[in-house]
Amino acid sequence: MSQRTAAAIEHNVHSIANRAWHRLSTHHEQLERRFGSDAEALWHDHLAQRLNELSAAIAVEDCQLFASKLAWSRSAALARGLTTDELDQSLMALHDAIADELTGELEDTDVSAAQHYVNKAIGIISKSATTVGKPLDAGSPLNQLALQYIQAVVAGNVLQGMQIVADEVEHGLSISDALLKVLLPAQTEVGRLWHINALSVSEEHLVSYTTQRLMATLVTTAVHKPDNGYTAVAGAVSGNVHDIGIRAITYLMELEGWRTIYLGSDIPRNELPGALDGFEADVLLLSVALTSQLAETTKTIADIRSNCPRPVKVLVGGNGLSESTELWQQIGADGYTTDANSALQLALEMARSS
């Protein structure tokens, strides 16, 4: 039942979102006045994303997964001036639109089960406070360095921000610590600031692109260990444009002597089997940022198993898998990592066992 229901929601995301927006705008005309000509497009995207998260949660039969992502998006929306009533009404519009669109395609019990997930998630988030992470501790020298970097870049002093970190590397800070204990925490802080509406999208993008540029510069000039004989292909699953974490891991693997093939973000599913075979990969590292990408990740891994002649090990990681320690097994991966150091260790173990 769960797979059938999840697939039906995924297949009908846009039509359900359209119905939900029609219901919402009919009963809350102020939304169109507040958002103007962009109202329909903005709310459609918001509703479609909630549906993708719902589909992922139903597929793995974990309502808490949906509630967690719902709470995260809710706090971001509240920080941008939406009211709890408007957000509650948008969820009820989704609840009703699911029945409108899927009745006839699914059994009534399946439709009711999907609506139950929505109701249960509303109940969960209404009883718990939403956290957006702690700010960086300025009392920590490396956190202080990360904050100085952010401040310089956001102010438009990109080269100065890069030089702040490069100078510390020149004076003894390891490349690994620069990436894992300065630049990645800086990205987490930037995400937190965006979440609470303290940074704009353009400012967040500026820091992210500067971080990518700086990581490449630091690694290019660093000393690399001898070739270890293994090849890792890495990138972000189709639909995932957040790839700084997996890029950092790939750079660290390169320093450790791996031959690394970084394919970037949003990799088309049908490209991977051929790439893995052509590059003679031992391990694939795949980043999954959102729970809404779980279905695509499952299909991607299944395609690799069916169409890649090489017995490549698949190692997954990312925030999209962080809500449950069992999700990586459900999507068919060979392993799961929560941090860069364990990724390097597990990837090497996988390559040696191939």
To which residue do tokens 């795949």 refer? 286
What tens digit of pLDDT does each residue of 290-307 get? 999 999 999 999 999 999
- Which CATH number belongs to the domain containing residue 269 in this structure? 3.40.50.280
Q: Which of 220, 244, 278 is the last residue of a domain?
A: 220
Domain that holds residue 61: 2-126
Give the residue among 272, 212, 283, 206 at the shortest CA–CA distance from 248.
212
Number of domains the chain is built from: 3
Q: Which residues contact 30 (CB under 8 A, 6 or more apart)?
A: none
Q: Do the beta carbons of residue 217 and residue 166 sit within 8 Å?
A: yes
Give Rg (Cα) of the chain: 22
Write down the pTM of the prediction: 0.89
The confidence score (pLDDT) of residue 96 equals 96
Residues of the chain predicted below pLDDT 70:
1, 128-132
Q: Are strands 231-236 and 335-337 parallel, antiparallel or unpaired?
A: unpaired
Whether 249 and 211 share a structural domain? no
The confidence score (pLDDT) of residue 126 equals 79
The confidence score (pLDDT) of residue 354 equals 76
Whether 6 and 122 share a structural domain? yes
Whether 7 and 122 share a structural domain? yes
Whether 215 and 241 share a structural domain? no
- Which CATH number belongs to the domain containing residue 80 in this structure? 1.10.490
What tens digit of pLDDT does each residue of 81-133 get? 888 888 889 999 999 999 999 999 999 999 999 999 999 998 888 776 656 67
Q: Which residues contact 105 (CB under 8 A, 6 or more apart)?
A: 8, 12
Whether 206 and 247 share a structural domain? no
| DSSP characters over 290-354 | SGGGHHHHHHHHHHHHHH-SS--EEEEESGGGTT-TTHHHHTT-SEEESSHHHHHHHHHHHHHH-
Residues in the chain, total? 354
- Which CATH number belongs to the domain containing residue 208 in this structure? 1.10.1240.10
Other CB atoms within a 10 A radius of the CB of residue 252 amount to: 21
